[in-house]
Structure 1
Amino acid sequence: MPTGTRSTPSRTSPRKVVIAGIALSDCGRVDDATPYALHAQAARRALADSGLDRSLVDGFASAGLGTLAPVEVAEYLGLRPAWVDSTSVGGATWEVMAAHAVDAIAAGHARAVLLAYGSTARADLKAGRRTANLSFGARGPLQYEVPYGHTLIAKYAMAARRHMHQHGTTLEQLAEVAVQARANAAANPDAMYRTPVTVDDVLSGPVIADPFTKLHCCIRSDGGCAVLLVAEDYVRDLAKRPVWVLGAGTAVSHSAMSAWDDFTVSPAAASGRLAFERAGVRPSEIDVAQIYDAFTYMTLVTLEDLGFCAKGEGGAFVEKGRLLRDGALPVNTDGGGLAACHPGMRGLFLLVEAARQLRGEAGPDRQVHRSDGHLPELAVASGTGGWFCSSGTLVLGRG
């Protein structure tokens, strides 16, 4: 088996970067593992998937675990990386860290960067080891909103209501996002919830934060995953088809809701524009999209901001099964955070699913094919953090 440990040749132009290995840890209901164990399980599987030797890894990125993350997690994994990143900007963390890693590899500061994540959020809440209240003990800008009950979901609900008021978006259209996510999950054996739901099911559920009912909101699960990014120099050593990183963009917006200029525009409008420009492709060329979906509105507004439809047209865009595996724009083909898994920060799962689709490894029941019958050539993965506070977008390709 090739080890992929050859020395990196000198060059004057930036190196291209590929996704070399991808993997999930055990996901869903995992009551007998620690977050560290899920990190390690996913990392081992991703390295095995790549066919490369662990000694090649000289960069590591992780967030959300450990007092000195990612140093503590790297130690647990037996790594001593020369390049590290622990950027933490909520759900967009993994796309932002991937963008940083791509830049580092392109510049020659690292040759192989492992991104790993693991969380037992569901099990911890069940056992009383953590609280779901993210506003507890808030300082800085958040302290001025906490007394008014501005939980994370309430912030998303306010934004959704503004979009409905300003653009005529309906509850039925938002519900379509949840219905199609569950339909995609039905073909995913790793998804936590696979039973189909209807628009009426979504609308008739208990209200969590107006206008969101329970099924408008992401599930809570355990799970982890890992992605290995490497320089193009090691492509011939890979066990699987490489997935090329064609372009990446990052952006931040606000923290306090009062500092958000427009509730109907997310920072994906900026990160997406950068990613597409750097990749040299247009949104209309994308075959499959993986979009952070903590709430149904998140999917809808991100589709607008990435340029798949005009501002205000997201409601109509998501109708008629457009987001299904065999729809006009397959979105969240694993079921997304609304149905497959959402262990806290889901951004890295988007990269795993995008790469899996481009490789043609999603399986006969959920693999996306283009209208000509061929496998998808281009994918986008876009993560959102906080309450539309941050965004990271990557454009990926087979060729």
Structure 2
Amino acid sequence: MSDDNAATAQASPPPESEQPTPPEQHNYWHTVLRSITQGNALVAVGAIILAVLVGSLMILFTDEEVRTTFGYIGARPSDFFAASWNAIEGAYSALFRGSVYNTNADDFLSGIRPLTETLKYAAPLILAGLGVGLAFRAGMFNIGGQGQMLLAGGAAGWIALSESLSSLTIWIHLPLAIIVGALAGALWAGLAGLLKARTGAHEVIVTIMLNYVGYYLLFFALSRQGLLQQPGSSNPKSAPAQDTAILPDLLGDRFNLHAGFLLAVAAVAFCWWLLNRSALGYRFRAVGENPHAARTAGIDVGRTYVAAMLIAGALVGLAGVNQVLGTVTSGVALDLDSGIGFDAITVALLGRSRPIGIFFAGLLFGAFKSGGFLMQASEGIPVDIVLVVQSLIVLFLAAPPLVRAVFRLPTKEAA
């Protein structure tokens, strides 16, 4: 071969399949994989798996057939393992049928009814979880979800029950009730933010105390004729809302899913934009990371606290509005929060205070609530086990090193 041909062959690049991966591309995918394995999302998934496993053990302890076969496990161990499998498989199959799709249904519409129930239960959890998570991002603990929901539900119910407003169309009456309810929740939470900004009062103590104040304020309103109490009744409950102030059904009368779920989806989009695309959201995150550094950078920390609690209270208040205006048979009652104010803390923790994470965490807890009833009815398993699983999720979320050790996930320090 001539020198010219040899030089040409030496200079020509190898085929594309034989070319080495550029260092930049290799580092990119290595960084992506490391961010997945070290991120909080994988820890949350691990916490859910561990909680489900522990819940499975509790299902075995509560199953009568499993306890019976355990008595002669030495003689016939196959009976014990078969009974254990049947108990766990039956429980989680019932949970699936009650929350996602009923495989025993006669038609498709009947089959998807559990999914619509999950979405219905998830809507207030998502809204309240966004309120708690937003406060977390600003460095505060909004433990006053119960009081904010009660006050917001009472305010929205007062507008929805008003006969003087019944002549309004649904396009005016319903938005008015929603806005008034959100404002009530915002002002109730904003009071805690104002006290923290002006006096340094800890928001955990203030919001917990405001829960009691809000409860008894609503009790007073429901115990007085002319305020919220249903005419001719002595029970602390209001009459149903006017038809023009009811959240409309999304899939017709056959399903209970209403526009409250769309309200939750819109709130998720708003919170994502607020935290990731707005200057106010940047101030929330800066104060939440380090209030002293934020103050040095020129951010008014006190005003940021107040603004964060106002928006957080409005979001939690929308959860109370959802409870009051969700169905034609609903109204204002002292138990309208249904424990959502405190469940929202778990949802926010599982979602890592990110709007998208809170959305999926709300769906998960909505599925637990929807499917837990069928699990108890068909398999005889106490519905309290679902509550235990939810509590275990929080427990494992509070111990990330334990989750990483169980699943052998790398840590940032090791990397």
TM-score by length of 1: 0.25
Higher relative contact order (CA 8 A, sep 6+): 2
Structure 1 or 2: more helix by fraction: 2
Structure 1 or 2: more strand by fraction: 1
TM-score by length of 2: 0.24
Larger Rg: 2
